[in-house]
Amino acid sequence: MAEFTLELNDDQKQVRDWLHGFAAEVIRPAASEWDEREETPWPVIQEAAKVGIYSLDFYAQQFFDPTGLGIPMAMEELFWGDAGIALSIVGTGLAAVGVLANGTEEQIGTWIPQMYGDASDVKVAAFCSSEPDAGSDVASMRTRAVYDEAKDEWVLNGTKTWATNGGIANVHVVVAVVDPELGSKGHASFIVPPATPGLSQGQKFKKHGIRASHTAEVVLEDVRIPGHCLLGGKEKLDERLARARERAKSGGERVKNAAMATFEASRPAVGAMAVGTARAAYEVALDYAKTRTQFGRPIIDNQGIAFQLADMRTQIDAARLLVWRASWMASAGKPFTAAEGSMSKLYASETAKKVTAQAVQILGGNGFTREYPVERMHRDAAIYTIFEGTSEIQRLVIARTLSGMPIR
């Protein structure tokens, strides 16, 4: 187990600088165009694939970094470049984490490579959990998966929403209800292979921010998938459902569901994304404050501006420390006894919203125009307090963890 440290080693620094260079030279120059187009930036994803950033090998190396800092470091640098394009590059990772968290070794080896494709034929994947009537309230999920024993197939019906890469993905990971009586504990995750009949894209959303990232509904109509596409396998599912039924009868401790396991694994990474966006806005504001003159001096000489920048930097560094702590704990196998993963996501998300708003204010009228990137960064930052668990849900998770109450 790696000791916790705030110092990146030489290999990590090299990767960080490489990612920063790609973000500065490839992502950031393209950010405004793809934000306006509101389309998936396939050329940028392909460039990322060519240099090895968009690949299973790269994410595996960062995921298995013994310090736990590989993924948050990568997320911060890419999202420093641009949140919308970066989410298009890393969005497949949520589906991959869903397979890693719940799948067998064979399923991991079979499906994750198909999520990425290769540099000559780039693919993406989608994780489908939220529904029109089941966002934070996962117990209200209606998408059903029914087992056809005679054919050893699962039949999926329902509608998913807010799915990154939904409908355009090569592989979809879908969370569905297999036992309605167990609420959120009666859920399971399924792989829907490429070109499976019955899966279609519904509404594509036109969003306030992260507009270069494709977000859409996914409609499932009598989607039949082989039995081996149940993540973890049926034997493991039956055992888990049996334990959940026994606990429900006895009122005992609740077990985690498949979607919750995926979100718990990814929350510090989302915090790192927020840190990257906040840092980018802070740097623009700092440079502007040092060069913009009013009343014969740079505006950073004014205490009202200087103190804002001091607070912005302090909050960004604090957010990064919470993210790194949670990431190291997860890598070291230490339990989140105080919901440290949710803490990191909560604080970093709120910091990103606040810091980007302050950056707009420091730039004044210029900050309100699309000539400067802080306007886009402020719009992008709004998503961090919403997706993968709203700030309100993070507070609920933290409070219930501290009190010992069950997290439903």
Per DSSP, helices labelled H in 69-129 are 70-81, 83-90, 92-102, 105-116
In single-letter form, the type of residue at position 35 comes to: D
Beta-strand relationship, 144-148 and 125-128:
unpaired
Residue 3 DSSP symbol: P
* Cα distances (angstroms) measured from residue 156 to each of 160, 200, 222, 249, 314: 11, 12, 6, 28, 48
Nearest to 75 by CA among 248, 271, 249, 303: 271
**Is the separation of the CB atoms in 110 and 184 below 8 Å?**
no
Q: What are 187's strand-pairing partners?
A: 177
In single-letter form, the type of residue at position 354 comes to: K
Question: Cα angle vertex 72, ends 336, 391, to 5°?
Answer: 55
Return the number of other C-beta atoms located less than 10 Å from residue 340's C-beta: 23
For residue 155, with 0-12 CB atoms within 10 Å meaning exposed, 13-18 middle and 19 or more buried, which class applies? middle
Q: Which of 153, 239, 388, 392 is catalytic?
A: 388
264 is catalytic: no
C-alpha span between 366 and 268 (Å, rounded): 33
Nearest to 142 by CA among 102, 172, 193, 186: 186
Catalytic residue set: 388
